[in-house]
Every structure is written in structure tokens, then in C-alpha cells.
Amino acid sequence: MTLAAGRWQRVTYLRDLLRELVGRELKLRYKRSALGAAWSLIVPLAQLLVFVFLSRSVLRLEIPHYPVFVFTGLLSWNWFQSSLLLATGSVTDNRMLIRRPGFPAAILPAVTVMTGLIHYLLALPVLLVFAAVSGVPLTPALLAFPLIVALQFLLTLGLTYLLASLHVTFRDLQHLLGILLMLLFYLTPVFYSPRNVPEQYHGLFEVNPVATILAALRRVLLEGQWPAWSQLLGVGTLALAVLALGYAVFTRTSQRFAEEL
């Protein structure tokens, strides 16, 4: 067998394994659930109702097409948050697989992020329906939407590698992460616009890559404009750096996973 053929066989094996593990994850998550995967849509819709009420009756944010605005943010944030929380335990929750000789442990965090991506993609048609009902015109700028989603995937995957490897040693990490994500949710313009925030605090959003991703998604969907390419380039560079660092840390620490579990 040539080197190229061996690599192709390895890629095919990893692809099939990823598909099998994602399918298993979906089945386990919704086992004996009457509504199944619909829960992944029900949760953001329930959040949407609360934020629409707050926007119109309490906060009065005055954001055009607010249901589309906030639903765009909720879908992206929920994917990011659930991926980090679930992937943190992806190694410690799969002791049997980790201890199996030759099993590619690096695929486990990817399974969690990919499962979240499937939920995200299933909800996208609902978002487009909201946009159509709200009178938001769909423009060619939407062609940039998959690129922005891909950047979020890379950024999230890199972070999950770091968290999954650290959680093997520091088991309090998952609890601490829950608190950090709760704080980050309020510091990220998921349900409000940066325009609602005093200008002296805008620097908080400029260093937050998730805020940049949300702004880009809303720009192409709600404003019909191409994203700010320089900002996307910055997020893409950061995502690749985090992914390289996360994968390197995961690969290095994975050598002692079987002993520590």
C-alpha cells in the first residue's frame, strides 16, 4: 500500500467513525424523548419569546427586526456554549473508548462540536422563515454565511481541545466553565446591540471573537451587506491559532489519558 493510499484509508476511517459517533451522540441525547431533536429548536424559541418580551416591554432596545436579530444570536451562542460545556467532559465521559488501543481520542471533542453544528443547521430554515416573515430581503451577501459559520466551527473546536484535555486533570473546570460562559453571555451582544452600550465599553466587544461572529452574521442576514473582511480575517487567524494550540495540547496530554481516567 502506498503512503497516499494509507492516508486516504485513514481519512476514510476517521470520517466514518465521526459519522458513527455523531449518530450515537444524537441517539443517546434524545433517547426516550417524545420530541427528540425538536428540543434543540424549542429551547432557543422559548428564549426568543422571553427576549422579545423584555425588548418591547422592559428594556425597549428599539432594534429593527428584533426577533430575527436575537434568534440569529441565540442559535450561534447556544451552539458555542453547548459545545464547550459538553466537549469538556468528552474524554472523561468516554473511558472505555479512550482505553481502547488505537482509538483516535482527538475525534471526541470534534463529535460534540459537529453534533452542535447539526442542530444549528436544522434551525437555520426557521431563522430564514423569520427573516422572510419580518420582511428582511435575502441578498447575495448571504453567500458569506457559511464562511462565518466555518470560522465559528474552527474557533469552537480549538477551545474544546483545550478544555477537554485540561478537564482530565482539573475536574472542577466544567463547573467553572459554566460560570464563565454565563458571564460571557451577558458580555456578548446576543440579545442586545453594541449600539445600546456606552461607547467606552465597545472595546469589550472588539476583543470578543464571538461578538465579531454575531456581528458578521447579522450584517449579511439583516443588513444585506458583506461582512467586514478585516475583522473576519482577524477571527480566522485567531481561530486557526487556537485550533493549532488546542490540538497540540490535546495530542501531548492524550498520552496519559488512559492512566488518569
- Please determine, for residue 38, whether its predicted confidence score (pLDDT) is greater than 70: yes
Tens-place pLDDT, residues 111-135: 999 999 999 999 999 999 999 999 9
pLDDT (0 to 100) of residue 56: 85
Give the CA dihedral 159, 42, 192, 237, nearest 10 degrees.
Answer: 20
For residue 29, the SS3 value is: helix
- Taking the C-alpha atoms of residue 107 and residue 87, their distance in angstroms, rounded to an integer, is 11
Q: Residues in the chain, how many?
A: 261
CA dihedral for 151, 152, 153, 159, sign (positive or negative):
positive
- Percent of the chain past pLDDT 90, that is, above it, reads 69
pLDDT (0 to 100) of residue 112: 95
Higher pLDDT, 56 or 216: 216
Do 109 and 194 touch, CB atoms closer than 8 A? no
Least confident range from 188-192, 204-208, 212-216: namely 204-208
Q: Give the side-chain half-sphere CA count within 13 A for 13.
A: 9
Q: Looking at residues 41-46, what average pLDDT do you find?
A: 90
- Please determine, for residue 210, whether its predicted confidence score (pLDDT) is greater than 80: yes
Tens-place pLDDT, residues 220-238: 999 999 999 999 999 999 9
- Taking the C-alpha atoms of residue 20 and residue 13, their distance in angstroms, rounded to an integer, is 11
Q: pTM above the 0.85 mark?
A: yes
Tens-place pLDDT, residues 71-105: 999 999 999 999 999 999 999 998 888 988 889 99
Residue 208 CA: distances (Å) to CA of 73, 125, 187, 237, 238? 14, 27, 9, 14, 11
- Please determine, for residue 1, whether its predicted confidence score (pLDDT) is greater than 80: no
